[in-house]
Chain A
C-alpha cells in the first residue's frame, strides 16, 4: 500500500509539471499547480501512515490552507489580467503592469 501510494504521488507530480509547462492557458497552469500540491499531500499522508506519526498529516492541513490562499490571489490576478488583455493566454502577458 505504501509503495503504490508513493508511485501514484510521483506520477501525479510529473503530470502536474507537464501541465504547467505545456499549457498556455493560465487556468490550466493553475490546475497543474493544484495537481502538484495534491501529489505532495498524498506523499505526506502516506509517509505519516508508514511511520505511525501524525505530524505529516498536520502539514497537509497547512498545505491545504496555503493552496486556498494561492488559488484566491492567483485567480484575482488572472481576472484582473484578463480584463486588461482580453485573453487567457500567457503569451499576451508581457508586461506586469497596466
Chain B
C-alpha cells in the first residue's frame, strides 16, 4: 500500500516537473537556459518512461538523448557564443496566432481524450527486452539498417556542411 502511494507520488512529481520544464523551454529567451530546461525535461521523461514499464527506453533516453544530442547542442551554443534573443522581435501575426493555436490545440486534444474515455490502467507492463531485441533484428531489420545508414549519411553530411571549404 505504502509502495503504491510512493510510486504515485513520484509519478505525479515527475509529471509536474516535466510540464514545468516544458514551459521553461518555451519561455526562456536565452538558448543556454532553454537547452538546460530541455535537459531537465528529458530526464523527467526518462523517469516517466520507467514508470510506464519501458525500462530500456528510459536508459536509452538518458544516454542517447541527454548524453548525445543535447551535448551536441550545448557544444554549438558554446562554440558560437550566442546572445539571448531580444524582446519584441516576433512577427506580430505569430505573436497572436501562436498562443491561440496552443490553447485551441490543447483544449481539443484534452477534450477528445475525455470523450474517448481511455481508462484501462497499466497493470505491471514491463518491456520484455529479449523479445524486443528479437523483433528489432527480425521483423524490423530493414528499418533498423535504414536508420544506421541514415546516421552514417548524416554524420558525413554534417562534416561536409560544417567545413569551411570543401
Q: Would you call A58 and B161 a contact (CB within 8 A)?
A: no
Please give, as numbers and ranges, the residues of chain A lying within 8 Å of B147 by CB-CB distance.
62, 65-66
A-B Cβ contacts below 8 A, count: 218
Interface size on B, residues (CB 8 A): 81
Q: Mark B33-56, 1 if CB is under 8 A from A, else 0.
A: 011001001100100110111101
Q: Does A1 contact B (CB under 8 A)?
A: yes
Chain B binding surface SS class: helix
Size range of the interface on A? Answer: 35 or more
Q: Would you call B102 and A64 a contact (CB within 8 A)?
A: no
Q: Would you call B76 and A79 a contact (CB within 8 A)?
A: yes
Please give, as numbers and ranges, the residues of chain A lying within 8 Å of B9 by CB-CB distance.
none
Please give, as numbers and ranges, the residues of chain B lying within 8 Å of A41 by CB-CB distance.
45, 61
Q: Which of B62-120 contact A (CB under 8 A)?
A: 64-65, 68-69, 72-73, 76-77, 79-80, 82, 85, 89-90, 94-95, 97-99, 101-103, 105-106, 109-110, 113, 118-120
